[in-house]
Each structure stands twice: as C-alpha cells, then as structure tokens.
Structure 1
Amino acid sequence: MVRVNERMNMYDVPAEDAERVRAQMDYHMFVAHALATTACHELVEGGKVGPAVSSTMTYPASNKPIDIWAAKMNDNFKTNYALDMYYYGDYPGYYKEYLEKAGISPIRHPEDEEILKSAKPDLIAVNYYRTLVASYLPETEEYPFGTKVNEIDYDLYGYFKIEKNPHLQASEYGAQIDPMGLRLVLNEYYNRYRLPLIITENGLGTPDTLTEYGKIHDDYRIDYIKAHIAACNDAIADGVELFGYCPWAVIDILSSHQGFKKRYGFVYINREDHDLKDLARIKKDSFYFYQKIIKDNGLSD
C-alpha cells in the first residue's frame, strides 16, 4: 500500500523549505531501498531485487548545444541521478553540485556510505508513459538558480524548461504518446548498467465512454499497447535484455491527480468520482485484445 498524504505532496511544509525536505526524504528512500536490497539477498536464496523508476527520455527543443545539454539534464534530474544512486551508491557529480548550490544537501550519516555502496540491484524496473522536450532555462533575478516551477514534469531554472513536441500526439492529460521513446529508454538503461529490465508500468490514461449497450470501445488503448509492445520487440532485437512487460492496468484504479476520470484499465469500473453507481466490472475491447496477447505470448499480427 502507498499512502498519499500531505507530507508526500508538501502541503504542510513551508514553501521556502520544501525542496530541502524533499531532498532529505529522497535520500532516506535511497538508504531504505539499500537496506531492503541487502535484506532480500540475505533472506531469499537466489532472490532478485531492483528499483522501479519513472523513466524519462527527453529530446532537445533545437540543435543548439545548450538545448541538447538541457534535455540531458532533464533526464539526469528526473531519473538518471536516482539510477546512479541505486547502482553506484552515491549521487553523480552534477547532482551533488545542484544540491550544494541550492543549499538543500541532505544530512548523511557516515555509516550510510557502506549501506548504499554494498546494495547491488539485480534488475531495473521501468515505468514508461511519455517522452519530453526541453530547452535551456536561464536563472533570473525573479527565479534564481534551482527554482522549480510546476509539480509534474517541472521546469528548473538554470537547467531546463519543458516544451511541447509538435511531432507527437498527446493524451487528454498531456502525455506525449511515443513508442519510439520506450525503445530509446530501454536501450539507454541497458547500455548504461547492463542489468536485465522489466517494464512494470505502461498504459494509456484517458476517459472512456460506456455505451448504451454496456460496451467500451477503446481502440485508442489497443493501438497504444500494440505500438509499445512492438517497441519492446525492437529493443530486444537491439540487444536489450528485457524479461517482462506489465501493462498499467488490468482494472480501472484511482488516479492520484484525476480520480476516476482518467482510466487505464482493461476492465471498466462503473463509477464516477462522487457517484459509486453499481460498481459493475465491464470488460473493455482492450481486455479481449490483451487476453489474446497473453495466449499468444506476444503480438500475433
């Protein structure tokens, strides 16, 4: 169970202290993950364990070198620094510099170093939904170095600003649909760490319409899943060791930001945010599509 509460969303932390608290919480999670990894290896003979990350693949907004740097830093700040921490047991240099310049370096205990460096992951779990585009965002007098703007896919002054990609379609909630991005992510992570990969989340969150005949025709979700599984096949052909694909999700579940308006499942739950209705479970067209994928162990056409 994951409990989403005020502290997780920084509602009860003064704005001027939020990033310091977030960095400290982040560090505590790395230490806890390392302890859990070591415990798993000690308690479970042959057990395999690894981190699950929200993946990021960012394209530069132009071919300007500074935009290319900004795109790379967006990947680094939103995913790669964490993967390096899990794999090497320490923050990469660019992230240490940011923490120090922003004045938010977490408190670290001497014994943490051995805990972090001795915990070696066996795999990387990847959550993938979209790619991003970034341009360089210089610091200003109003927004000094390290100022974050927006909570989801944030901009960071001194580093990057998120832009729209005119070459991709987006979901109703702004996620840019990009199967090629999944292939790129899988290649990037495998070539960096040479660890087996599993996709633990991938799916399309969007409203669904229940017809008067009790059906949900979600061809858009079928197209999304089909294209992303094809991208997995391409990544495997590239040499990536990908051992699993887990769609998000089998059944409609509560979105932390959009409630029950944003649906991911292959099974529809007949309810709304403030109306439970009859809570009937209704198989969408995508249910039967994915059922066949399971039976065939992959795409058959």
Structure 2
Amino acid sequence: MAQKANRDNHFYADVQIFGEYPKHVLNYFEENGFQIAWTDEDLQLLKDYTVDFLSFSYYMSMVVSKNAAQREKVGGNLMTGVKNPYLNTSEWGWQVDPVGLRISLIDLYDTYRIPLFVVENGIGSTDMLTADGTVEDDYRIAYFRDHFEQMNLAIKDGVELMGYTSWGCIDIVSASTSQMTKRYGFIYVDADDLGNGTYNRFKKKSFHWYKDVIETNGASLYTELQPATK
C-alpha cells in the first residue's frame, strides 16, 4: 500500500521529468476504460520540454494502513491520510514530521536526480499579539529549525537542494480553512476571521530569528529551543 501511495504521488513529477506517462498509469487507464485524446505531437512535446528542477510543498507526512480499525484519519492541506500515532500535531491536526522532509528529499532526488526546491513549508497556529507589539512564537521557530536541520542532513546525504521558501512571510487567510486566525507568517496582521481589525503589521519573534538564519547562512540554527508540538 505504501509503495502504491508513493507511486501515485510521483505520477505528476514522472510525466514532467521523464517526459512520458508511467506504465502503471497507462495500465490503469486501460483497465478502467479511459481514452485519452492525445496525439503523437502531444507525446513528443512531453519528451521535448521536461523540467530542469522539481519544486514541491511539504507540510506534513501521512501513513497508510490496510487495517480499517487503525485508519484514524488526519487532515492536511489538500490531502488526507492515516494518523501516525508517533508524531505530534499542530492545532489543526497536521502532523509535524521534520524527518519526513529529509526522507522525501532523499526519495525524490534518488528517483529523479535533478535539483530540488522546497517552495512551501510552514505551520499554522493561533498567535497572540503581546502588549509591546510582538508575538512570542517559539513553537514556529522550533518547527522551522527542526525542518532546516533535516534539510541540511539531506544535503550531506547528497541531495542537490537548490532553494527553500516558507509559507508564508506574512499572515494571510488560510487557503485550507478560510481562517485569518490560522496564522503562518513571520509578520502578524491585525485582522480576524471576519475581516475586522486595523490590518497593522507586527514583526513576530520568528521574523528576527529567520532574518538571522538567512544572514548567517544557517549558522544560527543550533540554538536550543522547545520541540515544535503546538
């Protein structure tokens, strides 16, 4: 089951990187009577215009189970899966798994052998603005620190990781829940779920931390903080 789930996840990248549909997908189309109206020119275009690097989002990991009794569902951004009882979760039930990012990086690089780019990664949480106009979001710092450390280990394992961007730099309405109070940013925006507020912006503690990470090229990462369990 895990192998099938991984093959399904790789489907889109397979087409864009290898320039053709994988055989197991073609078999699935045939077995289910799907008739794709493509031409030889379409197939040649796929071969001629493959991508130079692979970008992907990573927020959490999920597992699969053949045992229906063990299939406690866990939510996610666009996908749902089976809960892993060994992982902590965010307030919205997203499983926090930094090691899973390293595993994903190694798996993708070993499969495709092209540079990788993490284009979304972050944690949504309820942030409280303090009287002095900041947010003490050590939980967010811990989340990013743990994921950055695993990315560094993946690079040492031979992965060609060309870049990283977080989700996101500033609080915006969450696409998955339509909530403003599910906050991801390094900058706090004074607005609630109904659009009320001044919309003034305040730098969170994580803003200054992330700035230091960038300026020191990661040397500031290894400060002891609490695990990311919120």
TM-score by length of 1: 0.66
In the TM superposition, 1:1-301 aligns within 5 A as 70-77=1-8, 79-136=9-66, 152-154=78-80, 162-259=81-178, 260-300=180-220, 301=222
Alignment deviations for residues 71-107 of structure 1 (CA, whole Å, 9 cap, x no partner): 1212222x20111101122221222233333444543
Please list every run of 5 or more consecutive structure 1 residues that lacks an aligned counterpart in the other structure: 1-69, 139-149, 155-161
Q: For the structure 1 residues 211 and 223, does the alpha-carbon distance in structure 2 shift closer, same or farther, using more than 3 Å as the test? A: same
**In structure 2, C-alpha distance between the alignment counterparts of 1:221 and 1:263, rounded to whole Å:** 10
- Separation (CA, whole Å) in 1 of partners of 2:101 and 2:216: 22
TM-score, scaled relative to structure 2: 0.85
Count of equivalent residues:
213
Mark the runs of 5 or more structure 2 residues left unpaired by the alignment.
Answer: 69-75, 223-230
1:118-177 deviations in whole A, cap 9, x for unaligned?
Answer: 112111112111111102389xxxxxxxxxxx99425xxxxxxx3210100011222211
Q: Distance in 1 between matches of 2:151 and 2:54?
A: 15
Give every structure 1 segment of 4 or more consecutive aligned residues whose post-TM-superposition deviation is greater than 4 Å.
none
Aligned-partner SS, 1:247: coil
| In 1, Cα distance between equivalents of 2:42 and 2:67 | 34
Q: Indicate if the aligned counterparts of 1:226 and 1:299 stay in contact, CA closer than 8 A.
A: no
TM-align CA RMSD: 2.1
Tell me, in whole angstroms, the C-alpha distance in 1 between the residues paired with 2:91 and 2:154: 28
Structure-2 separation of matches of 1:99 and 1:169: 38
Asked whether the equivalents of residues 229 and 299 of structure 1 are also in contact (C-alpha less than 8 Å), the reply is: no
- Secondary structure of 1:116's partner? helix
Distance 2:101 2:181 in 1: 25
Greater RCO (CA < 8 Å, at least 6 residues apart): 2
